[in-house]
């Protein structure tokens, strides 16, 4: 067999696996949007069956044989080639997956599918004890999975690697340790400032249907193609990319708060633009047809939500439109007052509603807790108490109920331990990428003021989206910006922005 024949067979196999896996993604999307609660057990069985089949196909010894053939061939001579990247990342996935028994994969999938429904019920009731037995099951299964993967330094590394290939927990600790004191100092300056925006502007009555209309118009202006995607409602907003021509986003509407749905839509549309920008027509089913890491994915959503959506330039163009749609709420509001209101910063309970200055403190808390949970240093039953203690220490307010505390996120019910740090890493990448985009396009601010967002999207397509997993996140970040990941661009951006708004 020639290397070319081996590569063709390998990609045929991975595309078949990806197609089956995408069926499971559709089921998961529908479960969180339209499925009646009574269908939970049957849906769990469906997803478990598919997960078992995907695992079975992925660990087929034939894939190992094909990888060995290709790794010894000239086809991987150029490490930056698409072929070499596909072989490298398929090897990584194959080696991880072959360490997992099929029975564990099926049990994990079925348990987390059921646990997500129980989490949703517990969140509505604000009752952690209702969810605790399921969380204990998920934690034990996650620890078993991590032990199967193996690790050199600590067990959390095995889980982090699933979302941020090649990154170690120690590196996360290092970058977070550099960011935390500067975030704390920024928040002190904001808290002590005598100049305060009028936050009540975003807490007026905003009709849900009109929010949807405005949100869809903003997403379309960003470049979201509604012929290849859709917007739906869910409890916890997310984005799902199923394959070529089908990328879906979700949000939730608050009739008395504009920020939630609007910036949620911009956030998820940022994810969707990344999915839509990867060449799935030719590369779907191969690693190069997928995002490099979750931090890179998050860099796109956070950039559109914050550097664009919460910028004054953006609202120079979009505020008059918002005033026409929300006449009663915004008719008497000036642009400057609105800009201050959407960027009002204060400690709050809910991560997805947090402002830029406090958001990453939420992430650091979750990272520390889930690391302790997986290491066995924190028992699931003790999570509420420890969450509330650290939340008071980090964010500065007392948690009043479980739904505003440890029950607010879906991640742990879904077994997504190792996921949370990517939110903060992605936020740092977003500032670094946006700073480079402004340097490459000196008129970018003017473009945004005119409602032209295609220039930025084109830059992202060229420098980030098109590569998929061709490069690891750290390598692509350095390739684009010329620098390693740093908290400095983020803090430069936030200090300047909040300094202007709050007068320090």
Q: How confident is the model at residue 349 (pLDDT cuts 50, 70, 90)?
A: very high
At residue 249, the 3 state secondary structure works out as: strand
Does position 281 have pLDDT exceeding 90, yes or no? no
Give the tens place of pLDDT for each residue, 389-406. Answer: 999 999 999 999 999 999
In this structure, the dihedral spanned by the alpha carbons of residues 258, 264, 265 and 271, taken in order and rounded to 10 degrees, is 160
Q: What are the residues whose beta carbons fall under 8 Å from the beta carbon of 80, sequence distance 6 or more?
A: 470, 471
For residue 470, how many other CB atoms are within 10 A of its CB? 21
**b or e along 136-165 (b: 16 or more beta carbons within 10 Å of the residue's beta carbon)?**
ebbbebbbebbebbebeeebbbbbbbbbbb
pLDDT at position 266 over 90: yes
Tokens representing residue 135 in the block? 């969380």
3-state secondary structure at position 286: coil
Q: Which pLDDT value is given to residue 352?
A: 87
Q: Which domains does the chain have, with CATH numbers?
A: 3-150 (no CATH), 169-502 (1.10.1370.30)
- Phi (first) and psi of residue 306, to 5 degrees: -105, -65
- Give tens-digit pLDDT for 453-477: 999 999 999 999 999 999 999 999 9
DSSP state of 409: -
Q: Helix, strand or coil for residue 347? A: coil
Q: Using the structure block, give the residue that is written with the tokens 């390693």.
A: 484
pLDDT at position 129 is 97
Q: Sorting pLDDT into bands at 50, 70 and 90, what band is 353?
A: confident
> What is the DSSP code (8-state) at residue 416?
-
- For residue 473, how many other CB atoms are within 10 A of its CB? 25
- Please check whether residue 228 is in contact with residue 268, taking contact to mean a CB–CB distance below 8 angstroms: no
Longest dimension (CA), the chain: 74
Residue 268 designated active-site: yes
* Residues in CB range of 270: below 8 A, 6 or more apart: 222, 300, 301, 302, 303, 304, 305
Q: What are phi and psi of 28, to 5 degrees?
A: -65, -40
The closest of 303, 243, 247 to 272, measured between CA atoms, is: 247
**Distance between CA 75 and CA 191 in Å, rounded?**
58
170-174 own/partner pairs: CB under 8 Å, 24+ apart: 172/367, 172/421, 172/425
pTM of the shown model? 0.94
Give the CB-side neighbour count of residue 115, counting CA atoms within 13 A: 26
- Looking at residues 148-155, what average pLDDT do you find? 97
Burial category of 332 from C-beta neighbours within 10 Å (exposed 0-12, middle 13-18, buried 19 and up): exposed
Average pLDDT rounded to a whole number, residues 248-257: 96
Torsion sign, CA atoms 190, 192, 194, 199: positive
Q: How many helices (H) and strands (E) does the chain have?
A: 22, 3
Average pLDDT in the chain:
96
Indicate which residue of 83, 268, 275, 370 is catalytic.
268
Helix/strand/coil percent split, the chain, to 5: 70, 5, 25
């Amino acid at each position: 067999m020639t290397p070319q024949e081996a590569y063709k067979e390998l990609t045929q196999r991975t595309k078949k696996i990806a197609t089956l896996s995408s069926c499971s993604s559709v089921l998961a999307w529908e479960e969180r949007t339209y499925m009646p609660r009574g269908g939970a057990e049957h849906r769990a069985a469906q997803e478990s069956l598919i997960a078992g089949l995907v695992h079975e196909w992925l660990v087929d010894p034939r894939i190992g044989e094909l990888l060995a053939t290709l790794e010894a061939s000239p086809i991987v001579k150029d490490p930056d080639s698409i072929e070499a990247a596909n072989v490298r990342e398929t090897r990584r996935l194959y080696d991880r997956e072959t360490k997992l028994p099929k029975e564990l994969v099926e049990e994990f999938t079925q348990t987390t599918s059921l646990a997500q429904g129980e989490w949703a019920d517990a969140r509505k009731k604000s009752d952690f004890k209702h969810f605790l037995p399921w969380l204990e099951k998920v934690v034990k299964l996650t620890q078993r999975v991590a032990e199967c993967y193996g690790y050199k330094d600590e067990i959390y590394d095995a889980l982090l690697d699933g979302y941020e290939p090649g990154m170690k927990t120690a590196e996360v600790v290092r970058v977070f340790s550099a960011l935390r004191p500067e975030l704390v100092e920024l928040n002190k300056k904001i808290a002590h400032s005598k100049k305060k925006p009028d936050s009540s502007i975003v807490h007026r009555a905003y009709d849900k249907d009109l929010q949807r209309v405005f949100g869809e118009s903003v997403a379309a202006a960003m470049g979201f193609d509604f012929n290849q995607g859709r917007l739906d409602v869910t409890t916890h907003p997310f984005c799902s990319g199923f394959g070529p021509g089908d990328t879906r986003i979700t949000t939730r509407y608050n009739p008395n708060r504009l920020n939630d749905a609007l910036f949620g839509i911009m956030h998820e549309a940022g994810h969707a633009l990344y999915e839509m920008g990867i060449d799935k027509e030719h590369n779907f089913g191969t690693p190069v047809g997928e995002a490099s890491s979750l931090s890179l994915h998050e860099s796109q959503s956070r950039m559109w939500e914050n550097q664009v959506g919460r910028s004054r330039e953006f609202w120079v163009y979009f505020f008059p439109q918002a005033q026409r749609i929300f006449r009663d709420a915004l008719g008497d509001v000036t642009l400057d007052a609105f800009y201050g209101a959407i960027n009002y910063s204060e400690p709050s309970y809910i991560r997805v509603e947090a402002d830029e200055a406090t958001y990453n403190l939420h992430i650091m808390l979750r990272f520390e807790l889930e690391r302790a949970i997986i290491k066995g240093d924190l028992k699931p039953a003790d999570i509420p108490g420890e969450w509330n203690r650290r939340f008071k220490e980090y964010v500065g307010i007392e948690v009043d109920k479980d739904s505003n505390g440890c029950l607010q996120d879906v991640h742990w019910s879904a077994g997504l331990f190792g996921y949370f740090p990517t939110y903060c890493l992605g936020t740092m990448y977003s500032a670094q990428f946006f700073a480079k985009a402004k340097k490459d396009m000196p008129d970018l601010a003017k473009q945004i003021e005119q409602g032209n967002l295609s220039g930025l999207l084109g830059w992202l397509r060229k420098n980030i989206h098109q590569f998929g997993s061709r490069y690891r996140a750290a390598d692509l970040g350095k390739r684009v910006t010329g620098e390693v990941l740093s908290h400095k661009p983020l803090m430069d951006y936030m200090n300047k922005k909040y300094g202007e708004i709050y007068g320090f």
